[in-house]
Amino acid sequence: MPHDRARLTADLRRLGLEPGDIVMLHASVRRIGPMHGGPDEIHLAVMDAIDPGGTAMMVVGCPDGYDDVGRGILTPAQEAELLAHLPAFDPATARANRALGALAELFRSWPGTVCSHHAGVRMAARGARAHWLVADQPWDFAFGRGSPFDKLCSGGGKVLLLGSDHDEVTLMHYVEHVADFPGKRVVRYQVPMLVDGKRAWVPCLEYDSGAAGVHPNWPDRFFALIVDDFIARHAGTSLCTPGRIGDADSVLIDAAALVAHATPIMLRQAGCRT
């Protein structure tokens, strides 16, 4: 039987979402299962659970190509094609990256959602503090200080994983950016943006958030290892509540606590003494 919005809202409240919460959402539509009214009912149920006064946020990124030039993942011919023909990136209208799942685009395109202006690390938010979350995101090292991830932690936010892959918890890229360890890979890429009304390729820097990883010592599925260790240590406390939402094994995590847990693990893995 399909699930309905009211039931999901009640389950999310039991999981620990409260009115006024700031929550970063990762969700697998397939694992949650069919919904009466379609998958939009999932993000609407999240908003119901945190209203009044709450704010939800998702990573939406950009379509393929917009943050690929210069990363070394394309052939010279592919890069030349993009440099010649790719339109300027419009943060207000560009679709979410398909690799982020169906819900990212559904959330981004819902009325009232606002987006940050960054291409590769574009965030979408809706609710009372949405504009604050996405405003003034740094262009270089956009996962780090001053980013929506930084504000999520400083604002007492939570991370909600609804059947999603724990290796894709984007908050771990924030830890990589702000934790002080040597050997980080820096990536330089270019994005087509409108500058003084004309398309221009704007350079951008980040600590590598791609498949290679930010550090050569990172093991396979490192983010999942960190998140799963946090859950094992804190499940059932105020910092971490597991439960079932729809058909999906889910968990609600305190964002700042997860960052505090991940930081010494990354430092040790990078060869630092902690």
CA distances from 224 to 1, 75, 213, 256 (A): 31, 31, 13, 17
The mean pLDDT value for 243-262 works out to: 98
Backbone angles phi, psi at 234, to 5 degrees: -120, 0
- Give the global pTM: 0.96
Provide the residue ranges of all domains of the chain, joining segments of one domain with +: 5-63+94-175+206-269
Q: What does the pLDDT read at residue 273?
A: 78
- Enter the tokens of residue 213: 């990883």
pLDDT tens track for 151-183: 999 999 999 999 999 999 999 999 999 999 999
- Planar angle of CA 65, 97, 77, nearest 5 degrees: 15
**Structure-derived torsion over alpha carbons of residues 95, 167, 204, 105, reported in degrees to the nearest 10:** 10
Q: Are 23 and 159 in contact (CB under 8 A)?
A: yes
Q: How far is CA 252 from the centre of its chain?
A: 15
Provide the 10 A C-beta neighbour count for residue 41.
Answer: 21
- Enter the tokens of residue 84: 């010649």
Sequential DSSP letters for 25-47: EEE-HHHH--BTT-THHHHHHHH
Pairing mode, strands 186-195 and 55-59:
unpaired
Through-space distance between the first and last CA atoms of the chain, rounded to whole angstroms:
50
Q: Checking phi first, is residue 183 left (phi over 0); if not, alpha (psi -120 to 50) or beta?
A: left
CA distances from 112 to 58, 124, 253 (A): 14, 10, 26
- Enter the tokens of residue 218: 């990172």
pLDDT tens track for 194-235: 999 999 999 999 999 988 899 999 999 999 999 999 999 999
pLDDT tens track for 44-103: 999 999 999 999 999 999 999 999 999 999 999 999 999 999 999 999 999 999 999 999
Q: CB burial class (10 A; 0-12, 13-18, 19+) of residue 42?
A: buried
Q: Are 264 and 233 in contact (CB under 8 A)?
A: no
